[in-house]
């Protein structure tokens, strides 16, 4: 039987990789994918807690996280397309419209 | 043994997702990643979560990403640099996160007052039945709010992508 802390450690490692991708990449689409990666790592830890504590709450929370992630991806990509129509770039360091 | 395979694969695939130059390659690695996460959920006795992981994430969200990538025609955008100037700072912050979170997570243990949903209890009723019963009784209001959230997302996505911002 694998101990609970191993799952949480795996989830922590995946979350950190997602943080790195979010902070370091230039491509806005890959930044969105890093956010999805972080949400998924949290989902892993929630399902692991749910299994080991024999409670269903973790899985219910994962259900809502997936619903929010779907909404977030749809809205985020719609904003991306709306931006791209005006300025054809998706490199975050070239998006400087709010820079004084 | 199985866990070692899944942990190694998930870590390697996560690194592949955030480091590929071509976004299409990233999306395809992410597809493999999601299938492995679904396998891990099966391992944790959460069949319904594995199913919606495949259906919603791999089937809907990744297809949306692929659509957007192909809609934007990024051929000319594949420039020389794939990281921002402050990528080293991002790496340091990521490593700090990893050290802090892993050192905290390694001390987590299960403390005995456990819930009523043991493996046998879920197995006797079925995973989907158990989740459905809780979702439609105890968590009915959050469920309705989630449906409202998805409605807002649908309308918002259509409005945002349709209108040209002056």
Contact A54, B118 (CB under 8 A): yes
Cβ contacts of A13 on chain B, cutoff 8 Å: 11, 14, 98, 102
The nearest CA of chain A is from the CA of B42 a distance in Å of 10
In a domain, B112, yes or no: no
Does A24 sit within 8 Å of B86, measured CB to CB?
yes
The ipTM of this complex is 0.89
Q: Which token pair is A57?
A: 């709450």
Across-strand partners of A91? A27
Question: For residues B41-66, b (16+ Cβ closer than 10 Å) or e, as one string?
Answer: bebbbbbbbbebbbebbbeebbebbb
Which whole number is the average pLDDT over A69-73?
91
In a domain, B71, yes or no: yes
Does B117 sit within 8 Å of A30, measured CB to CB?
no
pLDDT of residue A82: 84
Q: Which token pair is A50?
A: 């749910």
Collapse the DSSP code of A91 into the 3-class scheme (helix H, G, I; strand E, B; otherwise coil) and give the result: strand
Nearest Cβ partner of B117 from A2, A6, A55? A55
CATH number at residue B40: 1.20.120.1200
In a domain, B134, yes or no: yes
pLDDT tens-digit profile of B102-126? 899 888 888 777 777 777 777 788 8
Q: Which residue of B has its CA nearest to A93?
A: B84
B50 alpha-carbon distance from chain centroid: 11
Cβ contacts of B119 on chain A, cutoff 8 Å: 54
The share of chain B scoring above pLDDT 70, in percent, equals 93
Long-range CB pairs of A84-92, under 8 A, 24+ apart, other chains included: A84/B72, A85/B164, A85/B165, A86/B164, A86/B165, A89/B77, A90/A27, A90/A28, A90/A29, A90/B72, A90/B74, A90/B77, A91/A26, A91/A27, A91/A28, A91/B77, A91/B79, A92/A25, A92/A26, A92/A27, A92/A28, A92/A31, A92/B84
pLDDT of residue B165: 55
Best to test chain B binding among A9, A11, A31, A95 (most B CBs inside 10 Å):
A9
Does A4 sit within 8 Å of B110, measured CB to CB?
yes
Does A73 sit within 8 Å of B65, measured CB to CB?
yes
The share of chain B scoring above pLDDT 90, in percent, equals 28
Does B52 sit within 8 Å of A25, measured CB to CB?
no
Judged against a pLDDT cut of 60, whether residue A65 lies above it is answered with yes
Q: How far apart are the first and last CA of chain A?
A: 57
Say whether both B70 and B4 belong to one domain: yes
Q: Which token pair is A23?
A: 């902070």
Does A36 sit within 8 Å of B61, measured CB to CB?
yes
CA-CA distance, A5 to B108, in Å (whole number)?
Answer: 5
Number of folded domains in chain B? 2
CA-CA distance, A32 to A35, in Å (whole number)?
Answer: 5
Does A18 sit within 8 Å of B14, measured CB to CB?
yes
- Average pLDDT over chain B reads 85
Cα dihedral B50→B55→B60→B66 (10° resolution): 80
A83 exposure class (CB count in 10 Å sphere: 0-12, 13-18, 19+): middle
- pLDDT bracket for residue B76 (50, 70, 90): low
B71 touches chain A (CB under 8 A): yes
Q: How far apart are the first and last CA of chain B?
A: 57
Say whether both B1 and B67 belong to one domain: yes
Say whether both B68 and B6 belong to one domain: yes
Say whether both B7 and B69 belong to one domain: yes
pLDDT of residue B82: 73
- Domains in chain A: ranges and CATH: 4-94 (1.10.287.3510)
Domain boundary among B20, B43, B75: B75
**A61-70, A89-98, B6-15, B49-58: which has the minimum mean pLDDT?**
A89-98
Which whole number is the average pLDDT over B37-64?
90
Does A75 sit within 8 Å of B84, measured CB to CB?
no
Which whole number is the average pLDDT over B41-61?
89
CA-CA distance, B156 to B75, in Å (whole number)?
Answer: 28
Domain boundary among B19, B49, B75: B75
Judged against a pLDDT cut of 90, whether residue A41 lies above it is answered with yes
In a domain, B107, yes or no: no
pLDDT of residue A14: 92
Domain residues for the domain of B59 are 1-75
Q: Which token pair is B64?
A: 């949306």
In a domain, B85, yes or no: no
pLDDT: which is higher, B54 or B164: B54
């Amino acid at each position: 039987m694998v101990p609970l802390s191993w799952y949480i450690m795996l989830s922590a490692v995946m979350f950190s990789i997602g943080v790195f991708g979010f902070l370091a990449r230039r491509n806005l689409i890959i930044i969105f994918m890093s956010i999805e990666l972080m949400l998924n790592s949290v989902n892993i830890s929630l399902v692991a807690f749910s299994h080991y504590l024999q409670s269903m709450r973790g899985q219910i929370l994962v259900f809502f996280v997936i619903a929010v992630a779907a909404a977030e991806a749809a809205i985020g990509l719609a904003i991306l397309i709306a931006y791209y129509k005006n300025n054809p770039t998706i490199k975050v360091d070239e998006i400087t419209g709010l820079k004084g | 043994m199985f866990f070692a395979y899944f942990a190694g694969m998930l870590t390697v695939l996560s690194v592949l997702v955030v480091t590929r130059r071509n976004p299409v390659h990233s999306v395809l690695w992410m597809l493999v990643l999601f299938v492995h996460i679904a396998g891990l959920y099966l391992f944790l006795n959460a069949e319904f979560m594995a199913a919606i992981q495949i259906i919603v994430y791999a089937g809907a969200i990744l297809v949306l990403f692929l659509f957007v990538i192909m809609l934007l025609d990024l051929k000319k955008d594949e420039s020389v640099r794939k990281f921002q100037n402050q990528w080293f700072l991002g790496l340091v912050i990521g490593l700090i996160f990893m050290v802090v979170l892993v050192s905290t997570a390694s001390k987590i243990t299960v403390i005995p007052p456990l819930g009523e949903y043991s493996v046998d209890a879920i197995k006797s009723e079925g995973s989907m039945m158990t989740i459905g019963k809780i979702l439609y009784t105890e968590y009915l209001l959050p469920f309705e709010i989630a449906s409202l959230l998805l409605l807002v997302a649908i309308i918002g996505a259509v409005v945002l992508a349709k209108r040209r911002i002056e």
